[in-house]
Structure 1
Amino acid sequence: MTTVLVAGATGSLGGQIVKHLLDRGADVRALVRKSSVDKLTAHPNLTAHVGDLTDGADALARHLDGVEVVVSAVQGGPEVIIDGQRELLRAAERAGVHRMIPSDFSINLYGYGYGVNVLSDLRRVFADSFATSTVARTSVAIGAFPEYFLGPVHEVLDPAAGTFSVWGDGTRPIDMTTIADTAAFTAAIALDPSTAGRDVHVVGQQLSMMELRDEVEAASGRQWELVRKGTLQDLRAEVVRRQFNASSLVEYVALQAQVAMFDGTGSLRDVRNADYPDVVPTSLAAYLAGRGAAHFTPPETPRRPGEWPTAV
């Protein structure tokens, strides 16, 4: 039985990673704050370990004795993605952990340079920590989560106005994977030792923005006015404009991701779904017919500028 520690184990992604690891027979340690212990569902192979990445490597190491793989599903700024995960990595080194899956779960981080996406930059800075580490890095890339991409932060769907907005011509295929499918793939990858030291690209579905609009119209049963917001160069200019005026990176980071998605530099390469045939991804049509139908209704509480989004 493989022993896996999951950091961020009660989050929207981390909680589902825990579930899929348990379903695959792993012994799971959930690293959680004391206030979140009661969010875990009891299971004979699940143990709560109370701690936080801010505790430092010395304190974290005691949670990792006998652990073979660490999975990080934490989110935040540099204090979490760089500093916190670096402490977790140092603790893993001391405990003799074989592999770590950092909290990447994004578009192809290495298709474009620094300065395109601030969150990608943080992930790549942390990735450099593995260069001299005894712990092998396995990075999971999945494209975009539709739970966020179709929410207010990406400004694609506006259910109140009935509009669907596109930058560029909207014909390039983009990569999308639901949070649930990402968790299923991640559990399988965590238990696959052949992934040590490499990036693994998996995807739920690849479709263009125009095809996505067709799926939205079919699922919602209504027409959505197509709004062409400008060229990709216009999108890049809008990102720069917002950066100068923003009080929080949340006000522009979603558009930064769209730049790399729409110009193809963030597209997934060498997609390895076939390595995990028991993971059958959810189609966008099925997602939109289920939980994703919430995207078609205006939120009861509008998101405030600079507020981190929550998944549908």
Structure 2
Amino acid sequence: MSKTKVLLLGATGETGASILEGLARDGSFDISIAVRPASADKPAVRALADRGFSILSIDLSKKVNASVLTPFDTVISSIGPESQQSQLNFARAAKAAGVTRFVPCGFITVCPPGGIMALRDAKEEVYNLIFKLHLPYTIIDTGFWHQISFPPLPSGKLDEFHFLGENKLYGDGNAPNLLTDLRDIGPFVARIIRDPRTLNKKVFTWSDELSQNEIYALAEKLSGESIDKKPFALEEIEAVITKAKQAVDADPTNIGLQMGLWSQEYNMSKYYREDNTRKVALYLGYLDAKELYPDFKPITFEEYFKEILEGKGNRPYAGRF
């Protein structure tokens, strides 16, 4: 049987790397990597070429020649959050090339569009073009990673793994949240894109649906440490978001300010609105990946936390932030 030809954009990022490894391990795909011209000679890209992946240099700031995408059955984008609109040219070329499945850069928490999360709305702009073009698609959201969902410990034992470095308790701490281990995104994607049931559908992945209180309780139980939780009220996060929006409006090209806003909007959506839940995902029309693939056993949050307590694992974005 011939392999599905896949072009992956963003393979050197955290999500993209997981997708690449998942597709490679699955064995059903002939994988090529798309990179910006400015990135073609970067060490991470050269390392992928050394592994035998074909590298295509594509300038998404310009009209993309459809012939570049003609050889591919499936195109997947895991581009950085600041570059969502660059997918618009990619999608137009995919339609012209006859690509049979376009996977735009979703891979975030479940949330409705319309002014709740600026990052979500940027992604939805791409989705709306896909729908306008009648481009075959699959949208995949992944909840929040295990790797950025655990609190720091007073002893500092987990500091080498911690990215966010905070132990705020948002609201009453009881909002449930969908969680996926970063390493499982790739295996989930491999199953999703070879499944005809997911064509022209939205899918969400998860291993656990846990509240902050449940995460803190598990962390205290497994570590034997008592965590000092810092309550953070709705009024406080509203004030922080207002200030962050003002800063972005004053300096709209500052990616650091944008990331600060996105982070707080994630928290508002997850913990106060309770958007990132199985209930809301099903309401919004998503398919549940755990129901689609009952044979796949994702890494649970507890399993992940035990790993890092034993000193295993890597901090996300190591060397980048």
Name the TM-score, length of structure 1 as normaliser. Answer: 0.82
**Long gaps (5+) in structure 1:** 151-155, 300-307
Change over 3 Å in CA distance of 1:48–1:193 after alignment to 2: same
How far is 1:109 from its partner?
3.3
Equivalent position amino acid for 2:136 in 1: A
Instruction: Choose the corresponding residue for 2:196, options 193, 196, 206.
Output: 193
CA distance in 2, matches of 1:310, 1:250: 17
- Please tell me whether residue 26 in structure 1 is matched to residue 13 in structure 2: no
Q: What SS class does the counterpart of residue 242 from structure 2 fall into?
A: helix
- Give the conservation status (yes or no) of the 8 Å contact 1:10–1:39: no
CA distance in 1, matches of 2:223, 2:320: 19
Higher deviation after alignment, 244-253 or 279-288: 244-253
1:302: which partner in 2? none
How many residues are paired up? 289
- Give the conservation status (yes or no) of the 8 Å contact 1:163–1:224: no
1:127-206 to 2 correspondence within 5 Å? 127-150=127-150, 157=152, 164-206=167-209
Instruction: Choose the corresponding residue for 2:97, options 90, 95, 98.
Output: 95
1:153: which partner in 2? none
CA distance in 1, matches of 2:61, 2:263: 30
Equivalent position amino acid for 1:286 in 2: E
1:116: which partner in 2? 116
CA distance in 1, matches of 2:62, 2:297: 38
Equivalent position amino acid for 2:8 in 1: V
CA distance in 2, matches of 1:209, 1:139: 27
CA distance in 2, matches of 1:253, 1:276: 31
- Give the conservation status (yes or no) of the 8 Å contact 1:37–1:50: no
CA distance in 2, matches of 1:204, 1:121: 26
Name the TM-score, length of structure 2 as normaliser. Answer: 0.79
How far is 1:157 from its partner?
4.1
How far is 1:163 from its partner?
6.7
Equivalent position amino acid for 1:276 in 2: Y
Q: Deviations over 1:210-253 (max 9, x none)?
A: 011122223433211121122x3432233213333466122232
What's the C-alpha RMSD, in Å, of the aligned pairs? 3.0
1:244-283 to 2 correspondence within 5 Å? 244-245=246-247, 248-262=257-271, 263-268=273-278, 269-270=281-282, 271-283=288-300
How far is 1:123 from its partner?
0.5
Identity %: 21
Change over 3 Å in CA distance of 1:294–1:252 after alignment to 2: farther
1:303: which partner in 2? none
